[in-house]
Amino acid sequence: MKKPLGSPSVGLELLIIQMTWTLMGFGIFLLINIVKMVFGIEVDSYYSAGYIASNIFMFVIGIISINFLPHYVGLGITRKNYFYGNVIASIGLSIFIPIGIYIISLVQKLIIGSFTSIELRERTLDKVDIDRDGNIISEIVQSFIVTPFIDPSSNLVLSLALFSLHIFVFYIIGWMIAAAFQRQGVIGGLLLIAVGIVFIAIKDTMIRITLDLPLFKNFSVFEVVPEKLALPTVFAAILLTMIIIRLLTKRTPLKI
């Protein structure tokens, strides 16, 4: 009898599958940049564009990842091994994507700088102003799109680490919401959407405190949080999200 796959093997398999989707995403991001250049539209560098687009991309991949649960359970693999395997895959993706986008960005700059006169727009902290008009919906949307950013030319390691943190959070939030809909139905799913929004807002706000960036008006209450507690709060929110996912997937009814 064939021995069921353990968490590392499941993680590697899921990483390869989701990496394939990611490479397709890289190609789409690059194609959009090329089309913009052809039509003379102002173009962000691949790194800047990818930094923004990867949040939504990983959120969607996180939602889709719940569909692997019935597949693996049907193969005799435990829910526990599925959970830890997908955690491994999500961490791997969160590391690979920033590095891959950065390398492509370097190649893009080299080619464009050598053969064209096109100037790429860089998105840096001092060029991005958040709209602090007190509109809670607007501020929530901005926390999804205008995530804190560090120019890789000023601090490459910190920029890549921050990039990884953002997209990892978006992945697990998408995963949590999808698991909630499957386990708790529409009401539970909607409740976890609200929880996910709160967690993303906390992540964004705590990072802004750490980097000494302005906060959204509706989140200014968090200014009382000491800087040394900001990052631990982010990791606590991540841990809580993963505990919720584990509890949801542990007893999710499946159709195999």
**Backbone region of residue 121 per phi and psi (left: phi > 0; alpha: psi in -120 to 50; beta: other values):** beta
Based on the structure, what is the number of domains in the chain?
1
Other Cβ atoms within 10 Å of 252 Cβ, number? 18
Which residues lie closer than 8 Å to 61 by C-beta, 6 or more apart? 18, 21, 22, 93, 171, 174
pLDDT by 10s per residue, the chain, length 256? 455 567 888 999 999 999 999 999 888 888 887 787 777 666 677 888 888 889 999 999 999 999 999 888 888 888 999 999 999 999 999 999 999 999 998 988 887 766 666 666 655 544 555 555 556 677 677 767 778 888 888 889 999 999 999 999 999 999 999 999 988 888 989 999 999 998 998 898 899 899 888 787 777 777 788 889 999 999 999 999 999 999 999 877 666 5
**Cα atoms in the 13 Å half-sphere on the side-chain side of 122:** 13
pLDDT of residue 121: 61
C-alpha 69/C-alpha 85 separation (Å) is 11
Q: Is residue 2 part of a domain?
A: no
C-alpha 35/C-alpha 47 separation (Å) is 16
**Cα atoms in the 13 Å half-sphere on the side-chain side of 194:** 5
One-letter amino acid for residue 235 of the chain: F
Q: Is residue 112 part of a domain?
A: yes
pTM equals 0.89
Q: Is residue 232 part of a domain?
A: yes
C-alpha 151/C-alpha 163 separation (Å) is 11
Q: Nearest-5° angle of CA 236, CA 203, CA 20?
A: 95
Q: Which residues pair with 121 in a beta bridge?
A: 44
Q: Is residue 255 part of a domain?
A: no
Task: Please identify which residue in the block is written with the tokens 């955690």.
Answer: 87
The boundaries of the domain holding residue 219 are 7-250
Q: Is residue 169 part of a domain?
A: yes
